[in-house]
């Protein structure tokens, strides 16, 4: 069976691009069928366009409208939702319709540096300020609370005392590139 993935993204879209490319290879068990964004100017829009994946830009209100969202998911026959730098809350009706089938990547070792306002460079700044010696990525299922679903996978990297938040970010993006598509693939083959 070929699963059809929807990626929700609000930013640059490096993870979205990496996941699209991974599943574009032959004999994979899934395809990225749809990108959803709340920011029409986000980098992810152009990346998806270049790779021929349809993009839907929706407002926060539209994302929280069950009729709009569920019919969109049905229209594209979506079996799994992947959040890759998506900054809005996921509505509960979507979580109920995709139990255990919505996953998120967070750029720290949760439960550390999670919660509201903790995204992207803000996380890496907090890690640097706390003088952490390791940080990493967490891939988890999405629950109604921010960053509090079941942890499926973590990977870590060293932080040097001299690392800037931008240097930490580069290390984290490398870990994400290395692991995120494989974790999705394994999850889908269970
Ligand atoms: C990624 O590092 C992801 O872990 C983080 O946003 C970045 C998006 O980068 N997500 C969060 O901070 C969620 N709380 P990208 O747009 O290049 O994929």
Domain containing residue 129: CATH number: 3.40.50.170
- Please tell me whether residues 7 and 82 are part of one structural domain: yes
The residues annotated with a catalytic role in the active site are: 106
Instruction: With beta carbons less than 8 A apart as the criterion, state whether 19 and 32 touch.
Output: yes
- Please tell me whether residues 125 and 95 are part of one structural domain: no
Dist. CA 70 → ligand 1 center (Å): 25
Q: Is the CB of 140 under 6 A from ligand 1?
A: no
Instruction: Count structural domains, the chain.
Output: 2
- 60, 81, 99 — which closes off a domain? 99
Question: Ligand 1 test: best mutation among 120, 137, 168, most atoms within 8 Å of CB?
Answer: 120
Dist. CA 88 → ligand 1 center (Å): 12
- 74, 99, 124 — which closes off a domain? 99
Residue 104 has pLDDT above 90, yes or no: yes
Dist. CA 2 → ligand 1 center (Å): 26
- Please tell me whether residues 73 and 137 are part of one structural domain: no
**Where residue 131 falls among pLDDT bands split at 50, 70, 90?**
very high
**Residue range 14-36: mean pLDDT, rounded:** 93
**Residue 1: what pLDDT?**
77
- Please tell me whether residues 87 and 113 are part of one structural domain: no
Per-position b or e across 93-127, b if 16+ CB within 10 A of its CB: ebbebbeebbbbbbbbbbebbbeeebbbeebbbbb
**Where residue 162 falls among pLDDT bands split at 50, 70, 90?**
very high
- Please tell me whether residues 76 and 166 are part of one structural domain: no
**Residue 144: what pLDDT?**
79
Residue-range definition of the domain harbouring residue 112: 106-190
- Ligand 1 atom with the shortest distance to the CA of 13: 16
Q: Give the rounded percent of residues in the chain with a pLDDT score beyond 70.
A: 99
Q: Is the CB of 45 under 6 A from ligand 1?
A: no
Task: Return the residue whose CA atom lies nearest to atom 9 of ligand 1.
Answer: 85
Q: Which tokens in the block code for residue 15?
A: 């993870």
- Please tell me whether residues 94 and 113 are part of one structural domain: no
Residue 151 has pLDDT above 80, yes or no: yes
Q: Is the CB of 149 under 6 A from ligand 1?
A: no
**Residue 25: what pLDDT?**
87
């Amino acid at each position: 069976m070929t699963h059809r993935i929807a990626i929700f993204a609000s930013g640059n879209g490096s993870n979205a691009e990496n996941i699209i490319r991974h599943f574009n290879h032959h004999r994979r068990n899934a395809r990225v069928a749809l990108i959803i964004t709340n920011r029409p100017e986000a980098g992810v829009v152009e990346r998806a366009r270049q790779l021929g994946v349809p993009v839907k830009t929706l407002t926060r209100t539209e994302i929280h409208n069950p009729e709009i969202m569920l019919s969109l998911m049905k229209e594209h026959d979506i079996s799994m939702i992947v959040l890759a730098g998506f900054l809005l809350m996921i509505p509960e009706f979507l979580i109920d319709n995709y139990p255990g089938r919505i996953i998120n990547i967070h750029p720290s070792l949760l439960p550390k540096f999670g919660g509201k306002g903790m995204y992207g460079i803000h996380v890496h700044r907090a890690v640097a300020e706390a003088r952490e010696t390791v940080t990493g990525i967490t891939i988890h299922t999405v629950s109604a609370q921010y960053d509090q679903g079941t942890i499926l996978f973590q990977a870590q990297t060293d932080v040097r005392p001299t690392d800037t938040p931008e240097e930490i970010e580069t290390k984290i993006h490398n870990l994400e590139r290395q692991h995120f598509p494989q974790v999705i693939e394994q999850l889908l083959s269970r």
